[in-house]
Structure 1
């Protein structure tokens, strides 16, 4: 019997990117309060699925409250504008104020008209271009806004607002490499120009693109700047510790994590990060003690469940599956609504051979999260291992309707294919298993595909699939089936080579001796074949006894 394939639920990750980014309006005296920034990231350390959480990402908007203000002093070493700036006349300053007031009131067509008139009167003054750019952006005219920000940048090359806002447009249009370059330029220009809130805004935009690139070393430097600006921001401190850990500086992150936990002892994300750091340092026992300590500090069952699940992961990674099951079971008791805890418990129970217990746990996970394709696939796999073939097929089919990710899709198709084979629906089995293999190479899927083709007497296809299975994982089952398929296609020397290898490795393998005898007999080597059949017969192989008559 081909061994049941255990399915592991993989953690996914979500990275939330801002749909829009706040436009800096500081040339016009605009300030917009910063929103919380952050992301969700997943890293894997020492075989443990570690979800490292950050604070929510900005959902910014175009500023609505412009006010005229004098431009900040330009650094002495800043680049000079391409053309000389013509000062505004009194009448032009009045027109600028009118345009800004219209923008502030949300009267964008009126503001646009006023800014365009001012540009026609004095093209070389940057304020008019900047105001028009903001107005066009508010009207979702990214192309026009980009043109005006480019003119502003040419007329005020030492100002950070130009590259920053061009970076915002690049981000909105998915040109992330260009956005990173522009935000980096803005960050280099903003010193001594921007107030703290605007500096953080630039740094947060830069951090978003560095995170997108997974450039955690650069992200660490950027977040160090954020925490310098706002040393009391605990979320920023956590993100800095996280970035250091992701960049391979876990030990350097420890002081910051402990300092954060002293100020906020019940922060689960910090406790999980602390455990991750110790695991990566090869200190799982220390990680477990830190998780136990944190479980005593948190105030609700949901938080304790998260800590217990991480404890379960660490115990499983070190081979203590019994302890891992107990920790996952405790997590389900602490938070009876945590579907992940039930799914993890099901996975661990299946690993320990407790298939009825795994079935109960996965049923709980599916009940709590009926739209999870991964949990439904795990349930289908356990049902298959219990011989509940029809139910397994139904669960797999339902999982396929739930828009699974690529890995889950391959697993669900695998279960569907094996279920079809066991119901003698060989054509359906081949279709599902071929689809599974296209998405993820798998020795098990290739083995069942070969068996399905063999059942349909398509021996050439069977040999091809079984050869792939052997290539991926040369199990005895796969090799014996491949030898059978090779015999069926009259490839006797190849079949003999495989069978001889099997009997050499395992002299008490009766089936292998029988296959060797068939290969030898097919090549007219009667004496050798009889000796092989005799070896198989002595080991209890009934067909070999028949062959000797």
Structure 2
């Protein structure tokens, strides 16, 4: 399966608590989805900005790591009445988005009472909102030093690290914030911090740690079915498929029509080596879901499992059923085309690809698949047109390389050797393959670029030493006057396949070019005996 990209949402959530001393503005960095090879996750609900206890009521230095593991600082001087009013004014300006005014007020308060953490926190949030990451990091570091028991310091330092691409630092800081939040914050705040930690664990592919984090999230909110599903996915990705089953079934028990959970259950059984059980689960789920599109998705997964077992006929039938359930699904027709291609039913494959390209004309992959099928059917000009269309759609590198390969082979078969060489060379640069190098070598040979042909064919042989590639390489070496190298390859060919008259004939040419006439005549005789007409002429 293709794997979808990890997306991380960074946004500043500003809120003002009823009491000025309990200001708890937190930036948030929540994962939108868990990247995996099974099925994309649901989007978690962004938690609301919580309210923490006021700093004066919060124990410090005893519940969680501090940045330097230093003793708790002495308590700061209390705010004067005037300073408290200024703090309220600054927080109100920040909440209203009046950032320059907020910055001025917070800086003035810091100058008046430096050891009070709240102005540092407010200034850090203000600078963060203004995009001044360096200044914000300084203030959040001061906050962590002055109030080591509060999670806001390491949390927002983690946000800055994420924005700067320092993902390992971000994960560490979110972990510190989570440890503090467990004993110092409300469940909503804990959830927010844990979501940020989960996002970084997902990015790093640390699925065992992610499972532990998501287990904490589900414990905080046992009613969150999406979180339970994400936990099951993380467990599967951590290699704990059997352990994930109870959670996945619990999701289905509460939401029987949930498609992604049904797919996950099937994938778990496949991973456990129980494909028949997976197929039965998919059949059962097909009776629960509501729409034809959802049934088509289940049927396509069934087709994949059947194809992996070697039952391509059953896979075709499942994919055909998917197209009947959702006649607007280009993906279903494309998968059907791929399965027909596996069974070498090329006319049926072409018909399915034509439906896919008609439904999704901007999909370069479908045009490339259609071009390849046309090429195999001998529809050379049409294959070239489809490959050109695919390239106009800005495909991904792998698809572009395949389209260029088809274009190159089509050009070669039309006698357009220069364009063929150019297209095939581009293809091999993006996705080296034995077949692409083979056709590149043939194109170079047709242009009498024998050295280039030998180089390309040599690469083809390295990747897949088929008799065809080896024989063509020998021909290119002969044309380049590299007779000893050609002879070595040809001796291996006739040893592996003594019935190849062409290989014996080429061996004779290599021997004759090295002035070893008796050996050459013997090779020619063997080739002639095998029916090679050129060898008969060489004996005259």
Q: TM-score range by the shorter chain?
A: over 0.9
Contact 1:362 1:379 in 2 (8 A): yes
| TM-score, with length taken from structure 2 | 0.92
- Equivalent positions of 1:125-524 (< 5 A) are 125-524=116-515
CA deviation digits over 1:231-254, x for unaligned, max 9? 111110010000000001111111
Cα 1:218–1:284, aligned 2, differ >3 Å: closer, same or farther? Answer: same
Contact 1:18 1:57 in 2 (8 A): no
1:53 paired residue among 28, 34, 40: 40
Report the counterpart of residue 531 of structure 1 in structure 2. 522
Q: Which runs of 5+ in 1 are unaligned?
A: 1-9, 44-50
Cα 1:334–1:318, aligned 2, differ >3 Å: closer, same or farther? Answer: same
Do residues 74 (structure 1) and 64 (structure 2) align? Answer: no
CA deviation digits over 1:268-320, x for unaligned, max 9? 11111111111111111111111111111111111111111111111111111
2:32 paired residue among 26, 34, 38: 38
Deviates more, 1:523-532 or 1:180-189: 523-532
- Structure 2 distance, partners of 1:160, 1:330, is 54
Displacement of 1:517: 2.2
- Structure 2 distance, partners of 1:40, 1:471, is 39
Cα 1:85–1:75, aligned 2, differ >3 Å: closer, same or farther? Answer: closer
Contact 2:3 2:36 in 1 (8 A): yes
Contact 2:12 2:26 in 1 (8 A): no
Contact 1:298 1:304 in 2 (8 A): yes
- Structure 2 distance, partners of 1:213, 1:67, is 30
Cα 1:505–1:83, aligned 2, differ >3 Å: closer, same or farther? Answer: same
Contact 1:176 1:209 in 2 (8 A): yes
Displacement of 1:219: 0.2
CA deviation digits over 1:97-122, x for unaligned, max 9? 22222223333333222222222211
- Structure 1 distance, partners of 2:539, 2:280, is 66
- Structure 1 distance, partners of 2:165, 2:46, is 16
CA deviation digits over 1:60-87, x for unaligned, max 9? 99x7x99995654215625544564121
Report the counterpart of residue 6 of structure 1 in structure 2. none
SS at match of 1:152: helix
Displacement of 1:264: 1.2
- Structure 1 distance, partners of 2:324, 2:460, is 41
Cα 1:56–1:71, aligned 2, differ >3 Å: closer, same or farther? Answer: farther
- Structure 2 distance, partners of 1:517, 1:58, is 75
Displacement of 1:24: 8.8
Deviates more, 1:28-37 or 1:344-353: 28-37
SS at match of 1:20: strand
- Structure 1 distance, partners of 2:200, 2:29, is 17
SS at match of 2:293: helix
SS at match of 1:187: helix
- Structure 1 distance, partners of 2:478, 2:139, is 76
- Structure 2 distance, partners of 1:72, 1:443, is 70
Cα 1:121–1:168, aligned 2, differ >3 Å: closer, same or farther? Answer: same
| TM-score, with length taken from structure 1 | 0.91
SS at match of 1:190: helix
Displacement of 1:12: 4.2
- Structure 2 distance, partners of 1:385, 1:420, is 14
Cα 1:301–1:536, aligned 2, differ >3 Å: closer, same or farther? Answer: same
SS at match of 1:11: coil
Deviates more, 1:72-81 or 1:533-542: 72-81
- Structure 2 distance, partners of 1:520, 1:207, is 68
Do residues 99 (structure 1) and 90 (structure 2) align? Answer: yes
CA deviation digits over 1:318-349, x for unaligned, max 9? 11111111111111111122222111111111
Contact 2:228 2:247 in 1 (8 A): yes
- Structure 2 distance, partners of 1:76, 1:12, is 43
Report the counterpart of residue 4 of structure 1 in structure 2. none
- Structure 2 distance, partners of 1:33, 1:227, is 22
Displacement of 1:150: 1.7
Do residues 118 (structure 1) and 109 (structure 2) align? Answer: yes
Cα 1:324–1:25, aligned 2, differ >3 Å: closer, same or farther? Answer: farther
Q: Which runs of 5+ in 2 are unaligned?
A: none
- Structure 2 distance, partners of 1:60, 1:190, is 15
Contact 1:276 1:287 in 2 (8 A): yes
Aligned length: 531
CA deviation digits over 1:115-155, x for unaligned, max 9? 22222211110011111222232333333322221221121
Aligned CA-pair RMSD: 2.5
Contact 2:470 2:489 in 1 (8 A): yes
- Structure 1 distance, partners of 2:164, 2:57, is 30
Contact 2:232 2:247 in 1 (8 A): yes
SS at match of 1:18: strand
Deviates more, 1:96-105 or 1:125-134: 96-105
